Amino acid sequence: MNKTRQPLFHIVKRGETPWYFGWGVRAISIVLALLCCGLITTLVTGENPFQFFATVIDGSFGSSRKFMVLLQNTAMLLCIALALTPAFKMRFWNIGGEGQALAGALAAAACMILMKDLPNLVVIPCMVVTSLLAGAVWGAVPAFFKAKFGTNETLFTLMMNYVATQIVAYFSVVWENPKGSGSIGVINPISKIGWFPDLFGSKYALNIIIVVLVTVGMFIYLNYTKHGYEISVVGESERTARYIGIKVEKIVIRTMLISGAICGLAGLLLVGGTNHTLNSAIVDGRGFTAVMVSWLAKFNPIWMVLTSFLLVFLQRGAGEIATDFGLNASFGDILTGVILFFIIGGEFFITYKLILTKSSKKEEK
C-alpha cells in the first residue's frame, strides 16, 4: 500500500541540448507574448488583432526617419547592454548602467559647455576621454568596494544611479539656458562645437557604426582574449579562479572599469551624437532595459543585437499604437513587461523539463 501523495510531475534538469533547441523555445515564447499583446490591445482598443501587428510594423518601418530612429535606439540600448555584459559574465550584477551612462553624458556636456570657444579638433577628443573616464570611475567605485570588502554590488550600483541623476539635475540648473528655464537647451546650436559630424546625411549613422564596432570588439574580447577567459573563470567559480592564480580583485575592478567606460561611451554618443543637450532623463531607463537585453541573449554580444532590436521594435510599435488609438504612452511599458515575462518564463523550459510521474502501479508491473 502506497499512501504517500505523489506529485503529478517532477522537474529534471536537461542535459546538453542542441543550440537550436533553446532558440526554438525562445521563439515560441516571443510568439506567445506577441499573441498575448495583440489580445490585450484588442481588449483595450477594440481593434482587430491584425491591426495591432500592422501598426507595430508601421511604427518601426513606416518611413525612413522612423527606421533610422529605430536603429539609433537599438544602437544605444545595445551599447549599454554590451557594457554590462562583461560584468554579468563575472556574476557582478551591475544595474548601474543608467548612472554610468549619465556620468559619461555629463562629462561630454561639460566639455561642450566649458570649451565652447575652442575648435572641434580639441573639444571632441576631450569629450571622448572625459566621458569614458567618468563612466569608468562611476563603475569602478562599487567594484572597488565589492572587491575589497564584499559590499553588495547590486544595491550599490542601483544607488549610484540616483546619485548621478541628482548631480545631472544639479548641473541642469547651474548651466540652465535660457536663464530660469531650469533645463539646458540645445548646446552650442550655432557654432556646433562638440557636435559629432553627420555621416551619409544622418546624425544617427556615426553612432550606429561605433556601436557595431563595439559589438564586434566585445565579442572578440569576451571569447578570444585572455581577459575574457579570466572573466568567465571568475564568473563560474571564484575559488577556482583563486586556485589557478587569478587575482579576483584585480579582475573585478578592471572589468568594471571597462563596463563603466562603455556605458560612458553610450552617454557620450547620446549627448554628442544625437541629443546635443543634457537632462537627467537622457538615458531614459535604458540602463535597466539593458540588463534584460544582456540576460535574454545569454551574455552573447551577437545575439544581443537581436534582443535589443526586438525590444526597441516592440517599444516603438507600442508607442505607435498608443498615439494611433489616443492611448497613454505608458501602454508600451505594459507590453514590454508582458513580453519580458513570457521570455523570462520560457527560459525555464530550456534548462529544465517536466516529467509526468508514472503511477506507482505501472512501475510495479
Partner 1 sequence: MFEAILSFLPRAIAQGIPLLYGSTGEIVTQKSGNMNLGIPGVMYVGGICGVIGAFLYEQSLPSPDAINSFLAVLIPTLFCLLGSLLMGLLFCFLTVTLRANQNVTGLAMTTFGVGFGNFFGGSLVKLSGADMPFLALSATSNCFKVTLPFADKLGVFGDLVFGYSFLVYLAIAIALIASFLINRTRTGLHLRAVGENPNTADAAGINVNLYKYLATCIGCMIAGLGGLYYVMDYAGGIWANNAFGDRGWLAIALVIFTIWRPNVGVLASFLFGGLYILHMYIPSGMNLAVKELYKMLPYVVTIIVLIISSLRNQRDKQPPQSLGLPYFREDR
Binding site for partner 1 (CB under 8 A): 11-13, 93, 95, 145, 149-152, 154-156, 158-160, 162-163, 166-167, 169-174, 182, 285, 288-289, 291-292, 295, 327-328, 330-334, 336-338, 340-341, 344-345, 347-348, 351-352
CB 61 to partner 1: min, Å:
24
How far is Cα 28 from Cα 26, in angstroms, rounded to an integer? Answer: 5
SS3 breakdown of the chain: % helix, strand, coil, rounded to 5? 70, 5, 25
How far are the Cα atoms of 200, 229, 248, 260 from residue 225, in angstroms, in the given order?
A: 34, 6, 17, 19
Closer to partner 1 at the Cβ: 309 or 342? 342
Closer to partner 1 at the Cβ: 206 or 304? 304
CB 199 to partner 1: min, Å:
33
Please compute, for residue 173, the number of CA atoms within 13 A of its CA located in the half-sphere on the CB side: 5
Q: Which three cell numbers stand for residue 107?
A: 562629462
Looking at the DSSP bridge assignments, the partners of residue 199 are: 202
Closer to partner 1 at the Cβ: 28 or 344? 344
For 298, list phi and psi in degrees, rounded to 5: 55, 40
For 316, list phi and psi in degrees, rounded to 5: -60, -40
CB 25 to partner 1: min, Å:
12
Closer to partner 1 at the Cβ: 13 or 365? 13
CB 352 to partner 1: min, Å:
7
How far are the Cα atoms of 16, 32, 297, 322, 339 from residue 326, in angstroms, in the given order?
A: 48, 26, 34, 6, 22
Closer to partner 1 at the Cβ: 164 or 251? 164
CB 195 to partner 1: min, Å:
26
